[in-house]
Amino acid sequence: MRLACLSSRVLSFGTSVILPCLLLASATPQAQTSALKLAAIHATGQKRYSEAQVVAATGLQAGQVFGPNALNAAADRLGRSGAFEEVQFRYHPEGGQMAVEFTVKEAPKFHRCAFDNFVWFSAQELEDHLRKEVPLYDVLAPESGDLLNEIVVSLQRLLQSHGITAQVEHTQYGKLGSPDWEHLFTATGPSLKIQSVQFQGANGMEEAVLHHEALQLVGRSFSIVACRAYAAAAFVPLYRERGYLRVQIGNASAQVLKHANGTNEFEIQVTYPVTEGMAYDWERVEWSGNRVLAPADLDEAFGMERGSLADGKKIDLGWEAISKAYGKKGYLEAKLNPEPVYDNANRRVSFRAPITEGPQYRMGTLMLSGMPPTAARELQARWRLKTSDVYDASYLTDFLKKPILAGASGRMANIHTEVRPDRTRLTVDVSIRVD
Residue 141 pLDDT class (50, 70, 90 cuts): very high
Per the model's pLDDT, the better-predicted residue between 35 and 138 turns out to be 138
Chain centre distance of CA 331:
32
Q: What is the mean pLDDT of residues 187-196?
A: 97
Q: Is the pLDDT of residue 7 over 50?
A: no
* pTM attached to this predicted model: 0.81
Residue 15 pLDDT class (50, 70, 90 cuts): very low
What was the pLDDT predicted at 21? 40
**Tens of pLDDT, residues 240-253:** 999 999 999 999 99
**Tens of pLDDT, residues 302-345:** 999 999 999 999 999 999 999 999 999 999 999 999 999 999 99
Q: Is the pLDDT of residue 1 over 60?
A: no
The lowest-confidence range among 80-94, 194-208, 398-412 is 398-412
Q: Report the sign of the C-alpha dihedral through residues 288, 292, 296, 302, in that order.
A: negative
What was the pLDDT predicted at 25? 37
What was the pLDDT predicted at 410? 44
Structural domains in the chain, sorted by start: 6-106 (3.10.20.310), 110-188 (3.10.20.310), 191-275 (3.10.20.310), 281-356 (3.10.20.310), 362-434 (3.10.20)
Under 8 Å between Cβ of 383 and 392: no
What was the pLDDT predicted at 132? 95
Q: What is the mean pLDDT of residues 12-23?
A: 39
Q: Report the sign of the C-alpha dihedral through residues 245, 278, 180, 185, in that order.
A: negative
Under 8 Å between Cβ of 205 and 234: no
Q: What is the mean pLDDT of residues 336-357?
A: 98
**Tens of pLDDT, residues 368-418:** 999 889 989 989 999 999 999 999 999 999 998 887 655 444 455 788 999
Q: What is the mean pLDDT of residues 101-114?
A: 96
Write the secondary structure of the chain as one string of H (helix), E (strand) and C (coil).
Answer: CCECCEEEEEEECCCCEECCCCCCECCCHHHHHCCCEEEEEEEECCCCCCHHHHHHHHCCCCCCECCHHHHHHHHHHHHHCCCEEEEEEEEEEECCEEEEEEEEEECCCEEEEEECCCCCCCHHHHHHHHHHHCCCCECEEECCCHHHHHHHHHHHHHHHHCCCCCEEEEEEECCCCCCCCEEEEEEECCEEEEEEEEEECCCCCCHHHHHHHHHHHCCCECCHHHHHHHHHHHHHHHHHHCCCCCCEECCCEEEEEEECCCCCEEEEEEEEEEECCCCCEEEEEEEECCCCCCHHHHHHHHCCCCCCECCHHHHHHHHHHHHHHHHHCCCCCCEECCEEEEECCCCEEEEEEEEECCCCCEEEEEEEECCCHHHHHHHHHHCCCCCCCECCCCHHHHHCCCCCCECCCCCECCEEEEEEEECCCCEEEEEEEEC
